[in-house]
Amino acid sequence: MGEAAEKPEPLAEAQEHKDVHLNWKKIALVGTIPIILIFIGFFIAVKMMGGENYNAAVDWFDENLGLPGIFAYVYVVDTLILPLSPDFVFPVVASMNPFIVVPIIGLASALGGITSYAIGLLLHRIPLIKRYTDKAEAKWGAYIRKYGIAFVVIAGIFPLPFSTICVLAGALKMDWHKVVPATAVRFVRAAVYFALFRAGLLII
C-alpha cells in the first residue's frame, strides 16, 4: 500500500514538467521593451546635452563615484528585489574603457546572483524571506525543476528576474557547484549590452 501511494508523485511531477514551457516570444518582447526605452532615453539625453556636456557628466561621475559606484549599484540591484535595473549603468559607462568596465559590471552582477543564492540557501526559513521564496516558487519553481541549472543560465542572459531565480535556486537547495559557475553568464550579458550602447554612442 505504501509503495502504491508513492507512485502518483513522480507522475504528477512528470505532468508538471510536460505542462511547463518557456514562452520565448514573450521573453524577447518583455526584454526588448525596457532596453529600447533605456536606449531611447540615452539617445535623447545625449542629443539634448550635446557630446561635450555628456562627456563632462561622465567625467564627473567617474571622478566622484567611479568604478566603486558602478560596482555597488549593480551588486545591490542584482542582490535585492528593487524596482531598478542594472542596465541603467550602460548609458553612463558607454564611453569608458570596456576592458575595465565590463569585467566590473559582470563581476558585480555575478556576485549579486551568488549572494541571492546564499540568502535563499541559508535564510529561506526566516518568515519574511520564506514568504518571498514561496511566491517565487509558485511562479518559477516548475521551471527550475524542469530545466535545472539551465534555467539559472537562461535568467542570467534573458530578461527574467535574475536575483529572484537565484534566491529560489538557493531555497530549493540547488548544487552551488553548478549555480556559482552559472552566474558567470552575467559577464557575457554585460559585454553584449555594453557593445550595444557603445555602438549607439558612436551613431549619436
- DSSP state for residue 67 in the 8-state scheme: H
- Which pLDDT score, from 0 to 100, does residue 7 have? 45
pLDDT tens digit sequence for 54-96: 777 777 777 777 889 899 999 999 998 777 788 888 888 888 8
Contact between 133 and 120 (Cβ < 8 Å): yes
Map out the domains of the chain as residue ranges. 32-203
Report the C-alpha gap between 93 and 81 in whole angstroms. Answer: 23
Tell me the per-residue pLDDT of 158-195, one tens digit each, with 9 for 90 and over. Answer: 878 899 999 999 999 999 999 999 999 999 999 998 99
0.85 exceeded by the pTM? no
